[in-house]
Amino acid sequence: MADNVAFTPGTGATGATDDIGGVHYPRVKATWGPDGTANDTDVATGKPMPVQVRSATGLVPIGEPTDDKSTATDTTSVSMISLLKQVSASIQALAALIDTGALFVKMPPGEINENGRVSEEFSAPIAVDTETFALITTIAGLSRAEDAAHSDGHTGIPALAVRRDAKAVGSGTDGDYSTLNVSAHGDLRVDGGKAHIVRVAPTVTAGAYTANDTLGGEMTITDAARISGGSGILTGITMAVEDDGANLWVADDVEVLIFDSNPGGTYTDNATLDSSSLTDADAFLLVGSVLLDTASALGNVVLLKATNVNLPYVCNGSANLFAVALNRGGRTPDATDAIQFTFHMIRD
């Protein structure tokens, strides 16, 4: 059957058509409304043709102009207007980051190599202005690979230090980041390389000694190193002894044995030093021995000294050294507290 129906124009109302290729197609004016009502579709009067957007699972709400933008925490369906508002806000925020140069790209750690580059799969071009590009180039020029050779013209960032006229630390808690410090003269403040002295006054016998007897027993040279297992140099030893002149102490009367850890033998004052005290095991702990080869009489005091000793040491198991003095001359102290040793060191 033919699609077109012919009719003969006559008198009466004129019907609206659209002549397309000699065929008249009727024009239809859409109306809408409930049964018995026909509303003209007119945006100006507030009665446009209502439209619903539907997906395969149901109605998709368009929303109202007053709807808030959607958020990442939305757990229910939101209107298309809310989504579009969120897209617009995200684009504006991204533009602001680009304008301020604060745009960063977060990548999966496994996709970033040791040079800070990402695989082609995760890469994307980022547009930056000329000034920003120059800044990025400068920063990249400050980086150096491990074990890379030095070359003239390399750039870097100078390390600043804080002037502290008095020795102090720039942080408050162990494990915190802190500053490098310099003295009033610009010297970098470091521990180590500083003179250090320890005084020990052993109890001795106010009576006769036999030559080579132990003088005062074992002595501990406390904190000979800054840390346990630390090192340094023994630069000298001074022994001050009260002497009324009857038993004048002279050079070479005293020799001091230095141990890097606590010896296991028994070193009793005014006792013979033999294999029962200085065992083979203790002998292997000896750093060296120092003969006090200089004597100076100062009134009722005699100073026995050894200077320019320069005996290096490494403490073993603690920060201390240990010493035993030998009365090589068999001298007699005037009193039990008549002797004091001063050990001179430079600690690393």
Q: What is the pLDDT along the chain (348 residues), one digit of tens a residue?
A: 345 666 666 666 677 788 888 888 888 878 888 887 878 787 777 778 777 777 777 766 777 778 888 776 776 667 778 888 888 888 888 777 777 766 666 666 666 665 566 666 666 666 667 787 778 777 777 777 788 888 888 887 888 889 988 888 888 898 899 989 988 888 888 776 789 999 999 999 999 999 999 999 999 999 999 889 999 999 999 999 998 766 788 999 999 999 999 999 999 999 998 877 888 999 999 999 999 999 998 888 999 999 999 999 999 999 999 999 999 999 999 899 999 999 999 998
**Residue 42 in contact with residue 30, Cβ under 8 Å?**
no
**Residue 330 in contact with residue 214, Cβ under 8 Å?**
no
In the prediction, which pLDDT does 232 show? 94
Residue with tokens 């005699």: 302
In the prediction, which pLDDT does 313 show? 97
What element of type H or E holds 81? helix 80-100
Of 224, 173, 216, 174, nearest to 197 (Cα)? 224
What element of type H or E holds 180? strand 180-182
Distance CA 169, CA 175 (A): 12
- pTM for the model: 0.53
The secondary structure of residue 219, as a DSSP letter, is E
**Residue 263 in contact with residue 282, Cβ under 8 Å?**
yes
223, HSE (Cβ side, Cα atoms, 13 Å): 8
| C-alpha of 205 from chain center | 55
In the prediction, which pLDDT does 1 show? 37
In sequence order, which residues have a C-beta less than 8 Å from that of residue 10 and are 6 or more positions away? none
- At the topology level, CATH places domain 194-347 in Jelly Rolls (2.60.120)
